[in-house]
């Protein structure tokens, strides 16, 4: 068996077999003693006191009392998945990292996605930065890319990280609000830290509301080094790009998802993998030659800056596929320990001061959370390659070492384990020349805090800009302190004068009196989601139906969607099953009480006179359709289903000319006589690929009230 095959075989389930014990047939104590009862403690008589000698009771309760460990201070709420990474071609010219040298090599990975601000119990869909961290189990040891879904960060120096996190977390006097930046302490801090302005623009944008983890970009944030076998060093930036495109929720939708299904992202990731719709990401790199380090008008060591792809293109180098859910959330997703300091030969660090602080802080965090320096021996953290050193003892020591020596050098143990020469794979830091006086200061090259914030603003589509402004209205509208809001308006004025005026108007405040900083007019297409990949794979459609649904129309759409890896669920008035026009039974997946339109990407209403009459009489389906339309989602209806959609008051859609022909308007596809269901289905799928139809007029209060009035009238008619 080849060395690579051996590694693949050893790590295919990653955790070693000895650690992967599931539920056995017989209940025992931790030491293996069989238990005859676990429902009653041992007592002196049926009503007497519990006896101290009840070892099973002691073990069961004491284990329960200690089953929680400290949650992460940030990134506490996470979701994980196993998979693999495979390079497209050899990167040996750029790095001696072996897992990047052979396109035939599949390296096992574990990925953890997370929110930053919220606790373990917070909702998935809140406005927040998302963690995107990847652990590679390579033949040379573990390598971690510990990143986010935004390419820049709030601060330039790690010493400010405690201040940032204290400001973003619930306020200490009342422990509110949870998982939210819309409160005074956060904006007070931000308004006093101009270096954060670029990150704030990303936080207020759609990027802070990802549709799901499969449609979310990831970034290494920092500048790292790649070193090849000849010792040549280059700088590198990491980009993870989802193959299905980058998409987001709208804020109203995200807020409602938090109430309807706080586990929405976690559930979507789990279900996608279970269904075989594996999330896929392409890893790309930006390579900067050492001699070009200082050629930019920003510092590549500044984590509040990105390198526009128009200046340094992103080179795709491989693909990551997530194809297996964890077997146990705590053992894997909760105990996985990521550290930027986990690297392999061929990869090294830059002098980025934020990265330098993380190299120490992440290791220190794992020591605290997991309680021992032996956390690397946990199955989810354990490398797939051999490991050996003179570290010993401590909590959670899982190795039974048999050598009599635990020091180096030694002669009693053959001087083993012995250091490894660089030529044989021993890690050697890049011999970068460093010199300077000991000072507490920031490099002047880090001083520009607004140019890239302006670049980001200029790069957004008009709709993306509108939603960013609305986010600023919401966030700062939660701040009662005029002086904080005024400072933020002054910051926006340095990004773009019109942006500052629009934010001021929404806050009911005068625009800044100081002249705005001139807008440089530069753009980067890669920063807007308007140019993303369009695919329907992995999307989820709600099919609204009741008894009497048209059998042919329902079956055609259901089968066509499934063939394209688009999942669908039948949403009806009651649980159980419904009967179609041919007498066949259709299982109901959800009811209007147990689900909502915000949990789907599109809606389809098949015909069937009896089915549509029942849906119209109930009223909730109209709200379901209206809300999906308000969130710009594609929807379709055939036959009598058009009657239901037309009553939802979809502003801007003309149903008057819909006779036998198919009509497609602003992502609403309808046909009263669907003779050609194949063409109809293709048109609907094309609409799903678009994800959203941003040019729709957003329904106003008047139209919502009108729809509500019609539903009340219809219910009264049914009762009479």
Please report, for the chain, the start and end positions of each structural domain, with discontinuous segments joined by +: 78-155+211-377, 534-719
Count of CB atoms within 10 A of residue 17's CB?
Answer: 8
pLDDT of residue 707 exceeding 50: no
Spot the catalytic one: 14, 75, 239, 631. 75
The pLDDT value given to residue 713 = 54
Kind of pairing between the strands at 567-572 and 590-591: parallel
Edge-to-edge order in the sheet of strand 540-544: 590-591, 567-572, 540-544, 602-605, 635-638, 668-671, 663-665
pLDDT of residue 466 exceeding 70: yes
CA distances from 657 to 649, 661, 664, 687 (A): 16, 9, 11, 20
Span 4-31, mean pLDDT? 60
If we measure between CA atoms, which residue out of 288, 369, 341 comes closest to residue 75? 369
Structure-block tokens of residue 246 = 């980058």
Span 655-680, mean pLDDT? 84
pLDDT of residue 406 exceeding 60: yes
The torsion region of residue 436 among left (phi > 0), alpha (psi -120 to 50) and beta comes to left
Reported pTM: 0.92
Structure-block tokens of residue 34 = 């069989």
Report the SS3 class of residue 495.
helix
Residue 565: its H or E element: none
Report the SS3 class of residue 13.
coil
Strand residues in 588-700 grouped as ranges (E): 590-591, 602-605, 635-638, 663-665, 668-671
Domain 534-719 has CATH 3.40.50.1820: no
Structure-block tokens of residue 635 = 């929807």
The torsion region of residue 231 among left (phi > 0), alpha (psi -120 to 50) and beta comes to left
Tens digit of each residue's pLDDT (9 = 90 or more) over 586-615:
999 999 999 999 999 999 999 999 999 999
The pLDDT value given to residue 20 = 53
| CA quadruple 381, 384, 388, 389: dihedral sign | negative
Say whether the peptide bond before residue 49 is cis (omega within 30 degrees of 0): no
The pLDDT value given to residue 716 = 56
Q: What is the largest CA-CA distance in the chain?
A: 98
Say whether the peptide bond before residue 428 is cis (omega within 30 degrees of 0): no
Spot the catalytic one: 14, 142, 148, 149. 148
Mention every residue, 6+ apart, whose C-beta is less than 8 A from residue 29. Answer: 35, 55, 56, 59
Structure-block tokens of residue 399 = 């190795």
Backbone phi and psi for residue 422, each to the nearest 5 degrees, phi listed first: -60, -40
The pLDDT value given to residue 677 = 87
* 75 assigned to active site: yes
Mention every residue, 6+ apart, whose C-beta is less than 8 A from residue 423. Answer: none
Tens digit of each residue's pLDDT (9 = 90 or more) over 347-377:
999 999 999 999 999 999 999 999 999 999 9
Domain 78-155+211-377 has CATH 2.40.50.100: no
Structure-block tokens of residue 118 = 């919220």
Average pLDDT taken over every residue of the chain: 92
Backbone phi and psi for residue 135, each to the nearest 5 degrees, phi listed first: -105, 120
* 249 assigned to active site: no
Tens digit of each residue's pLDDT (9 = 90 or more) over 224-264:
999 999 999 999 999 999 999 999 999 999 999 999 999 99
Q: Which single residue is written with the structure tokens 């990047």?
A: 100
Structure-block tokens of residue 130 = 């998302």
pLDDT of residue 134 exceeding 70: yes
Q: Are 566 and 533 contacting, i.e. CB atoms less than 8 angstroms apart?
A: no
CA distances from 679 to 184, 324, 512, 641 (A): 53, 36, 54, 17
pLDDT of residue 718 exceeding 60: no
CA distances from 67 to 37, 62, 76, 278, 382 (A): 22, 9, 16, 32, 21
pLDDT of residue 295 exceeding 80: yes
Tens digit of each residue's pLDDT (9 = 90 or more) over 549-568:
999 999 999 999 999 999 99
């Amino acid at each position: 068996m080849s060395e690579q095959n051996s590694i693949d075989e050893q790590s295919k389930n990653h955790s070693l077999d000895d650690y992967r014990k599931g539920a056995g047939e017989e209940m025992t104590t931790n030491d293996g003693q069989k238990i005859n009862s676990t429902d009653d403690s041992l007592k002196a008589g049926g009503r007497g006191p519990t006896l101290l000698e009840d070892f099973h009771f002691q073990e069961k309760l004491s284990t329960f009392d200690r089953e929680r460990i400290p949650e992460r201070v940030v990134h506490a709420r996470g979701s994980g998945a196993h998979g693999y990474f495979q390079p497209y071609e050899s990167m040996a010219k750029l790095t001696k990292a072996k897992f990047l040298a052979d396109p035939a090599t599949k390296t096992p990975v574990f990925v953890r996605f997370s929110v930053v601000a919220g606790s373990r119990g917070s909702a998935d869909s809140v406005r927040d930065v998302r963690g995107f961290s990847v652990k590679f189990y390579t033949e040379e040891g573990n390598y971690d890319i510990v990143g986010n879904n935004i390419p820049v960060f709030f601060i330039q120096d790690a010493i400010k990280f405690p201040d940032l996190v204290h400001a973003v977390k619930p306020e200490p006097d009342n422990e509110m609000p949870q998982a939210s930046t819309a409160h005074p302490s956060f904006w007070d801090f931000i308004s006093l830290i101009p270096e954060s302005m670029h990150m704030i623009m990303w936080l207020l944008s759609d990027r802070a509301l990802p549709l799901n983890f499969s449609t979310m970009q990831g970034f290494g944030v920092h500048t790292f080094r790649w070193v090849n076998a000849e010792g040549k060093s280059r700088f590198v930036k990491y980009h993870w790009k989802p193959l299905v495109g980058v998409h987001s929720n709208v804020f109203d939708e995200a807020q409602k998802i938090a109430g309807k299904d706080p586990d929405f992202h976690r559930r979507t990731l789990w279900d996608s993998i279970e269904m075989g719709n594996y999330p896929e990401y392409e890893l790309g790199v930006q390579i900067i030659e050492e001699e070009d380090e200082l050629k930019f008008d920003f510092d590549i060591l500044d984590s509040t800056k990105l390198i526009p792809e128009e200046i340094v293109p992103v080179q795709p180098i491989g693909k990551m596929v997530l194809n297996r859910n964890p077997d146990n959330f705590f053992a894997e997703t909760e105990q996985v320990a990521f550290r930027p300091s986990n690297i392999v030969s061929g990869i090294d660090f830059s002098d980025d001061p934020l990265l330098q602080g993380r190299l120490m802080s992440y290791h220190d965090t794992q020591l605290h959370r997991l309680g021992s320096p032996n956390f690397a021996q946990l199955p989810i953290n354990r490398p797939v390659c051999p490991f050996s050193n003179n570290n010993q003892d401590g909590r959670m020591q899982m190795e039974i070492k048999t050598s009599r020596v635990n020091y180096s050098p030694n002669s009693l143990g053959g001087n083993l384990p012995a250091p490894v020469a660089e030529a044989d794979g021993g890690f050697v830091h890049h011999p970068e020349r460093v010199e300077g006086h000991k000072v507490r200061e920031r490099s002047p090259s880090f001083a520009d805090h607004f140019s890239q914030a302006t670049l980001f603003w200029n790069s957004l589509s008009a709709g993306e800009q509108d939603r960013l402004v609305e986010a600023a209205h919401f966030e700062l509208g939660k701040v009662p302190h005029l002086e904080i809001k005024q400072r933020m308006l002054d910051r926006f004025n340095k990004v773009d004068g019109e942006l500052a005026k629009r934010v001021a108007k929404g806050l009911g405040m005068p625009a800044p009196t100081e002249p705005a900083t001139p807008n440089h007019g530069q753009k980067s297409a890669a920063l807007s989601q308007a140019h993303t990949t369009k695919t329907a794979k992995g999307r989820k459609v709600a099919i609204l139906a009741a008894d009497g649904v048209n059998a042919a129309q329902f079956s055609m759409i259901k089968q066509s969607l499934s063939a394209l890896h688009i999942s669908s669920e039948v949403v009806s008035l009651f649980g159980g099953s419904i009967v179609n026009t041919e007498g066949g039974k259709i299982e109901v997946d959800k009811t209007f009480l147990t689900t909502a339109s915000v949990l789907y990407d599109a809606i389809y209403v098949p015909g069937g006179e009896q089915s549509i009459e029942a849906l119209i009489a109930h009223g909730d389906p109209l709200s379901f359709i209206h809300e999906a339309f308000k969130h710009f989602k594609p929807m379709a209806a055939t036959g009598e289903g058009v009657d239901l959609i037309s009553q939802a008051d979809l502003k801007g859609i003309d149903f008057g000319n819909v006779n036998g022909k198919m009509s497609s308007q602003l992502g609403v596809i309808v046909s009263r006589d669907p003779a050609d269901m194949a063409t109809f289905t293709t048109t609907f799928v094309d609409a799903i690929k678009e994800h959203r139809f941003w040019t729709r007029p957003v329904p106003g209060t008047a139209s919502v009230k009108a729809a509500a009035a019609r539903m009340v009238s219809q219910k009264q008619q049914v009762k009479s």
